[in-house]
A and B are shown apart, each in its own frame.
Chain A
Amino acid sequence: METLVRLILLPPLLVAAFNGMMGLFMPSWRKNEWLIGGLALAAVALPFAVTCSLFFGFEEAETVRYFTWLAAGDLSVDFAYQLDELSLLMTMIVTGVGSLIHLYSIGYMHGDDGFWRFFPYLNLFIFAMLNLVLAANLPVLFLGWEGVGLCSYLLIGFWYTELKNSEAANKAFIVNRIGDFAFLLAMFMIFKTVTDAPGFTGTFGLDFATLLAPETLALFEGSTGLWIALLLFIGATGKSAQIPLFVWLPDAMAGPTPVSALIHAATMVTSGLYLLARLSAFVLLQPTAMAVIAIVGALTAIMAATVAITQNDIKKVLAYSTVSQLGYMFLAAGVGAFFVAIFHVMTHAFFKACLFLGSGSVIHSMHHVEHELEHKGLIPSHHGGHGTPHDSEATQNTLRHNPLPYDGPFDAQDMRTMGGLRKYMPSTAITFLISTLAIAGIPPLSGFFSKDEILYKAFEYGYDGHALGYVVWIIGLVTAVLTAIYMTRAYLLTFEGKPRWPGFMDVKPHESPWTMTVPLWVLAGLAVIGGFFGLAPVVAEALGTHSWIHEWLVGHGDHVGPVAELGHEVVPSHAVEWGLLGLGALLALIGVGAAWFGFRFGERGPEADRSVRKLMGVFYGPASKKWGWDEAYDAAVVKPIVEGSRKGLAPFDKGIVDGAVTGLARSVRGLAGVLRGAQTGVVQTYAAAVVLGVVIVVALMLFV
């Protein structure tokens, strides 16, 4: 078993080091795109194969321990990994989707100057993510947690020559650090609570087995447990982009699109959910924290969905959609259905990765259109390029000042300049449509089952006597309709109707290479069938089977899984369950139908936004401005700190501290005028600062 876990963990790390070193020190190596990409792909495919064999041959949970990492007093942390139902499922998702995205990236990054840097980062990310999901204790999980944050930082800022991208990377890193430190504090508090308990002997390594044992959990009753749960949740809001720390994720779209698909949709952003699911037995003990999680999740879901409806950048739509879907998952966790949250993590990984990769395929080919247009002189050329597909706000800015004879400025990511792409890119269009219908929740696609289960669990929670359950349920229903609308809108604006880019008669986009379309088809296939792993209880019963994911994660009969769930005293009848299922399907159909036949985004193109604007009324304005989060942060946090440091504290050091001190110094000088000539003002000031310190220290020592 030790060898197998090594085979999962080490290939991505070793290949990352090899490719990175070779590329850094041997510039000629950088040209071997197929070799670099192939090695990197193999480094993820091998762990995937190993995970598959472990997954299908799974009998019982095991812990693999390598060596002691930290040993200090009561603390003894092992480098240990845990193979159980939850970690194996997550590993499958990470390595499986990861392999597909590596394959896709070989096509997508072709010809980029940074090709050789890209794959080591991506491999390193996989390594960190595997550490995160396989860890058997919190410190090793934290190691992965920080590692994925670092890789995310490197990849968001991948095209670093544009300031905007490095800024987005910095923003992501710093916002995440806030969450990370909440997490760290939670770890300290857990450690303190456990080791301070009466009768504690030996050492404690923050391992899940000890932490989640009933006798340990009993120590966390009361406010300590609540604070720890909330701190963990703050950590999760950072990584998983929830209110109030979600602001980094939309900006993170500055990175290459495969990165958005892998890190910012399918894997890293779900690690907050993984953390909660892993510690579900702990979190369940804190009803207040659960309520906070459910409310934050629901608000994030609806807030992000309203923003998504107003966006024109295809990746921004998907980014806000991701935030919204993550909100759904937290909603599920908050009503005690952690396994459903993980189920949605899985289905979301399939369809959202497919959507992102599809958008990448579109952007890729729109960039070729852009180059050809520049070549023909139909649009002014720009100089921000690397000869690669990438976000081109620079172009947009130039064009804003030089309006075209056409409707709007050209931007390879702007859906307003697309339209009718289905004719040119059939594979991309069909897979995108499948995934759109899946996320919208059209039965029997995967999104239908997972989303419906979330809504059902919220309803069940309300039915059991918690009014909060009904509140989040209704928010969830509204969000479901919005989701169907904005995703259908994105599909229609991009692929249906008439082409809208300048010179569309002469310049035709073309389908992407096979390395990019094959992953699309595989993911679309998974988006179709993924839902059957978690059939709703009534459906499963009618079919004479059971919900696989429930049995796998929570347990069934003798088998007890790693994820806990909230039990209910009163459950709705079968008729109600069927009714809710029907309601879910109906809402999805209404949403899709409204966008398709009501607003008619296909025929009317961006014109149709006017109808949306009319319908949303006063909400449209703030939603299109993203509810002002960034501005609020700027005004409340960033400005005060930066200005405070620049104008406040540095002068404070030189001014007030020195000033107070200079005052003191002056009086000293007045008394001892003799010294005046002998000393420079500056050193005297410093010395006076020492005197101030002396006063403080002596006062603290003697009089406190």
Chain B
Amino acid sequence: MYDFLLADTARVLPILVVAAVGIAVILLDAFRNDSPSIPWLAGAGLVAAFVLEGFKLYDPQVAFFGQVYSGGAAAFANMVVLLGALGSVVLSVPYLKRIGHNYGEVHALILFATVGMMTLASAGSLITLFVGLETMSVCLYVLTGLVREEKGANESALKYFLLGAFSTGFFLYGIALLYGATGTMLFSEMVEGLAVTERTGIFVGGVALLLIGFLFKVSAVPFHMWTPDVYQGAPTTLTGFMSTASKAAAFAALVVVLARALPVDLVAGEVQITLSVVAAVTMVVGNVIALAQTNVKRMLAYSSIAHAGYILAGLAAGTGEGYGGALFYLLAYTVMNVGAFGVLAALEWDKEQGAIQDIESLAGSGYRQPILGVTMGVFLFALTGFPPLAGFIGKYLVFAAAVDAGLTWLAVVGVLASVVSAYYYLRILVVMWMKPETDAPEAARQPFALATSTTVVLSLCALLLLILGVMPGGVIEAAQSYFDAGAIVAGR
């Protein structure tokens, strides 16, 4: 009777690998404090999980009686999460060393957060969804306040925690309502359950509350207020991690809920209206407020809010194209944002003045550090949505899906909002390449050697964006194959 155990364990093996490595890292840190081998171990674990997920990319399965999806869309999302985590681990090492807070437990926390994210993206039931979400969130709260000595970091962490707990309340209440309306926790049985009980009112209310939880995690307007403060307060490379991997996981889970747990007429009706309104407001507010920022990290925080809006536009379409486009967008967004925050991290000289990153402090850095200048150029053009970089393809896919679903107005709002974004992205480049060095404060101009690992990660990110922009064919096909006609993954 326990035959399933072995097969199902294999299906969640990548998650287990990351969890096991996380525990190993804690143990290692306990015996050999802050050992330099910790990041290597963490990186190896992430790479192993990435490869394991890669094998399951075209092999969607259900594990543990439908509690967990494995392979297919879950594998795609998990690979995006792992990519973000891997980039952040590698970039964090020289960064934390430079700001003088090289803690071993950072890596354990990143790994545990990754476990939460992967669980979230693989969720097949409301319970798994909630467990994944909370595992992820608790680790992120701690990571935000990593630099304990600093007031700002503590403040950010506390804010994030309080608001996160607040939104979790809604999320949990939504779960309760959904269970009440359908009598099941499993996504795959929800539509049937609803047909039996016919408690549509309660069901729609539950969906609304669940959406609120998701919209908070992806920082859609007006649930976005925490984002700039938290992103600014957290260590920069970890901001890169939070802004990408956690969003990718939350969006992937939302896609699964929309595609597999909700009845089609609801997705094409109330949910579409809600998501498109939120998407439009998010795109406009995110981009326009980003214009007024002089702090680069805050600017990128608002930019990440705007990007959540673009992805929501793809979700609002409610079609296989839209969901697949959103998955592709998440991949592109993760790569470019990890890269952009990586560049900022490399240019940060300490955790006091250096961490503020006023835009002027970047003056002339392009020539001082050509690698950083060139790769940042790629990241920013990709964020603008400039062809032939991956960001353009992502925007194209989500907006085309929106137009196809009859949401032309949303696409119009989106493209106009992204016209505005060109202005503030370019401004960073202008300062990096076209402002004399003397505009930057003295401390920012101290020469420093760029870590080889940083160079490699940033170059790979830039290269990946170019490759995904020029030859995205297979990746798009894979991303869109999971949701053909809203098909539910074949169960056992």
Do A and B originate from a single complex? yes
Cα distance, A704 to B274, chains bound together (Å): 9
Residues of B contacting A646 in the complex (Cβ-Cβ under 8 angstroms): 291-292
Q: A649: CB under 8 A from chain B? A: yes
Residues of B contacting A184 in the complex (Cβ-Cβ under 8 angstroms): 396, 399, 415
Tell me what chain B mostly uses at the interface: helix, strand, loop, or mixed.
helix
Interface residues of A in 365-422 (CB under 8 A from B): none
**Do the beta carbons of A690 and B216 come within 8 Å of each other?**
yes
Interface residues of B in 5-57 (CB under 8 A from A): none
Known: A653-B285, A692-B222. A69 touches B473 (CB 8 A): yes
Partner among A143, A642, A701 whose Cβ is within 8 Å of the Cβ of B388: A143
Least distance between A194 CB and chain B CB atoms (Å): 11
Residues of A contacting B166 in the complex (Cβ-Cβ under 8 angstroms): 687, 690
Q: A596: CB under 8 A from chain B? A: no
**Do the beta carbons of B204 and A701 come within 8 Å of each other?**
yes
Residues of A contacting B201 in the complex (Cβ-Cβ under 8 angstroms): 702
**Do the beta carbons of B204 and A645 come within 8 Å of each other?**
no
| Chain B 191-222 interface 0/1 with A at a Cβ cutoff of 8 Å (1 = within) | 00000000001001101110110011000011
**Do the beta carbons of A683 and B271 come within 8 Å of each other?**
no
| Chain A 20-31 interface 0/1 with B at a Cβ cutoff of 8 Å (1 = within) | 000011000000
Cα distance, A649 to B417, chains bound together (Å): 14
Residues of A contacting B471 in the complex (Cβ-Cβ under 8 angstroms): 67, 69
**Do the beta carbons of A70 and B419 come within 8 Å of each other?**
no
Residues of B contacting A72 in the complex (Cβ-Cβ under 8 angstroms): 321, 324-325, 397, 400, 476-477, 480
Residues of B contacting A685 in the complex (Cβ-Cβ under 8 angstroms): 225
**Do the beta carbons of B476 and A686 come within 8 Å of each other?**
no
Cα distance, A521 to B457, chains bound together (Å): 51
Cα distance, A139 to B470, chains bound together (Å): 12
Q: A572: CB under 8 A from chain B? A: no
Interface residues of A in 146-179 (CB under 8 A from B): 146-147, 150, 157, 160-161, 166, 170, 173-174, 177-178
**Do the beta carbons of B403 and A25 come within 8 Å of each other?**
no
| Chain A 671-704 interface 0/1 with B at a Cβ cutoff of 8 Å (1 = within) | 0000000010011011101101110111011101
**Do the beta carbons of B403 and A693 come within 8 Å of each other?**
no
**Do the beta carbons of B223 and A700 come within 8 Å of each other?**
no
Residues of A contacting B397 in the complex (Cβ-Cβ under 8 angstroms): 70, 72
Residues of B contacting A188 in the complex (Cβ-Cβ under 8 angstroms): 399-400, 403, 408, 411
Interface residues of A in 115-165 (CB under 8 A from B): 139, 142-143, 146-147, 150, 157, 160-161
Q: A604: CB under 8 A from chain B? A: no
Cα distance, A426 to B279, chains bound together (Å): 63
**Do the beta carbons of A177 and B205 come within 8 Å of each other?**
no
**Do the beta carbons of B386 and A146 come within 8 Å of each other?**
yes
**Do the beta carbons of B387 and A693 come within 8 Å of each other?**
no
Q: B491: CB under 8 A from chain A? A: no
| Chain B 469-492 interface 0/1 with A at a Cβ cutoff of 8 Å (1 = within) | 011110011001000000000000
**Do the beta carbons of B163 and A701 come within 8 Å of each other?**
no
Cα distance, A366 to B399, chains bound together (Å): 52
Residue on A with the closest CB to B206? A701
**Do the beta carbons of A189 and B403 come within 8 Å of each other?**
yes
**Do the beta carbons of A687 and B162 come within 8 Å of each other?**
yes
Interface residues of B in 375-395 (CB under 8 A from A): 381, 386-388, 392-393
Q: A75: CB under 8 A from chain B? A: yes
Q: B187: CB under 8 A from chain A? A: no
Q: A639: CB under 8 A from chain B? A: no
Q: B127: CB under 8 A from chain A? A: no
The interface size of chain A toward B, counting residues with CB under 8 Å, comes to 61
Residues of B contacting A649 in the complex (Cβ-Cβ under 8 angstroms): 285, 288-289, 292
Q: A624: CB under 8 A from chain B? A: no
Residue on A with the closest CB to B220? A693
Q: A185: CB under 8 A from chain B? A: yes
Residue on A with the closest CB to B293? A650
Cα distance, A188 to B397, chains bound together (Å): 10
Residues of A contacting B150 in the complex (Cβ-Cβ under 8 angstroms): none
Residue on B with the closest CB to A160? B434
Known: A73-B480, A697-B211, A702-B208. A191 touches B434 (CB 8 A): no
Residues of B contacting A161 in the complex (Cβ-Cβ under 8 angstroms): 434, 436
Least distance between A688 CB and chain B CB atoms (Å): 9
Interface residues of A in 65-113 (CB under 8 A from B): 67-73, 75, 79
**Do the beta carbons of B436 and A166 come within 8 Å of each other?**
no
Least distance between B199 CB and chain A CB atoms (Å): 14
The interface size of chain B toward A, counting residues with CB under 8 Å, comes to 73
Residues of A contacting B400 in the complex (Cβ-Cβ under 8 angstroms): 72, 75, 188, 191
Partner among A166, A177, A701 whose Cβ is within 8 Å of the Cβ of B430: A166
Known: A170-B426, A173-B422. A195 touches B404 (CB 8 A): yes
Known: A67-B473, A645-B292. A701 touches B270 (CB 8 A): yes
Q: B342: CB under 8 A from chain A? A: no
Least distance between A605 CB and chain B CB atoms (Å): 38
Q: B103: CB under 8 A from chain A? A: no
Residue on B with the closest CB to A649? B288
Residues of B contacting A645 in the complex (Cβ-Cβ under 8 angstroms): 288-289, 291-292
Q: B337: CB under 8 A from chain A? A: no
Q: A669: CB under 8 A from chain B? A: no
**Do the beta carbons of A700 and B387 come within 8 Å of each other?**
no
Residue on A with the closest CB to B415? A181
Q: A657: CB under 8 A from chain B? A: yes
Total A-B pairs in contact (CB under 8 Å)?
172
| Chain B 398-435 interface 0/1 with A at a Cβ cutoff of 8 Å (1 = within) | 01100110001001100110111011001000100110
Least distance between A659 CB and chain B CB atoms (Å): 13
Q: A556: CB under 8 A from chain B? A: no
Cα distance, A702 to B436, chains bound together (Å): 56
Partner among A173, A189, A650, A701 whose Cβ is within 8 Å of the Cβ of B207: A701
**Do the beta carbons of A701 and B211 come within 8 Å of each other?**
yes
**Do the beta carbons of B205 and A702 come within 8 Å of each other?**
yes
**Do the beta carbons of A694 and B212 come within 8 Å of each other?**
yes
Interface residues of B in 101-154 (CB under 8 A from A): none
Residues of B contacting A700 in the complex (Cβ-Cβ under 8 angstroms): 270, 273-274, 277
Q: A192: CB under 8 A from chain B? A: yes
Q: B226: CB under 8 A from chain A? A: yes
Residue on A with the closest CB to B290? A645
Cα distance, A503 to B412, chains bound together (Å): 59
Least distance between A237 CB and chain B CB atoms (Å): 15
Cα distance, A69 to B381, chains bound together (Å): 19
Residues of B contacting A139 in the complex (Cβ-Cβ under 8 angstroms): 396
Partner among A150, A682, A692 whose Cβ is within 8 Å of the Cβ of B386: A150
**Do the beta carbons of B208 and A701 come within 8 Å of each other?**
yes
Least distance between A173 CB and chain B CB atoms (Å): 7
Q: B159: CB under 8 A from chain A? A: yes
Least distance between B299 CB and chain A CB atoms (Å): 12
Partner among B163, B212, B320, B418 whose Cβ is within 8 Å of the Cβ of A73: B320
Interface residues of A in 628-652 (CB under 8 A from B): 641-642, 644-646, 649-650
Partner among A69, A143, A653 whose Cβ is within 8 Å of the Cβ of B472: A69
**Do the beta carbons of B422 and A177 come within 8 Å of each other?**
yes
Cα distance, A115 to B459, chains bound together (Å): 26
Residue on A with the closest CB to B325? A72
**Do the beta carbons of A701 and B436 come within 8 Å of each other?**
no
Residues of B contacting A75 in the complex (Cβ-Cβ under 8 angstroms): 400
The 6 closest A-B pairs by CB, nearest first: A160-B434, A701-B208, A686-B225, A700-B274, A181-B415, A188-B403
Q: List 28 A-B contacts (CB under 8 A).
A: A67-B473, A69-B473, A70-B397, A71-B477, A72-B324, A72-B397, A73-B320, A143-B387, A146-B386, A146-B392, A147-B387, A150-B386, A160-B434, A170-B426, A174-B422, A181-B419, A184-B396, A188-B399, A189-B408, A649-B292, A683-B159, A686-B226, A687-B162, A687-B163, A689-B225, A700-B273, A701-B204, A701-B271
Q: Which residues of A does B touch, CB under 8 Å?
A: 24-25, 67-73, 75, 79, 139, 142-143, 146-147, 150, 157, 160-161, 166, 170, 173-174, 177-178, 181, 184-185, 188-189, 191-192, 195, 641-642, 644-646, 649-650, 653, 657, 679, 682-683, 685-687, 689-690, 692-694, 696-698, 700-702, 704
Other A-B pairs beyond A150-B386, A174-B423, A689-B222, 7, CB < 8 Å:
A24-B374, A160-B434, A166-B430, A650-B289, A686-B159, A686-B163, A686-B225
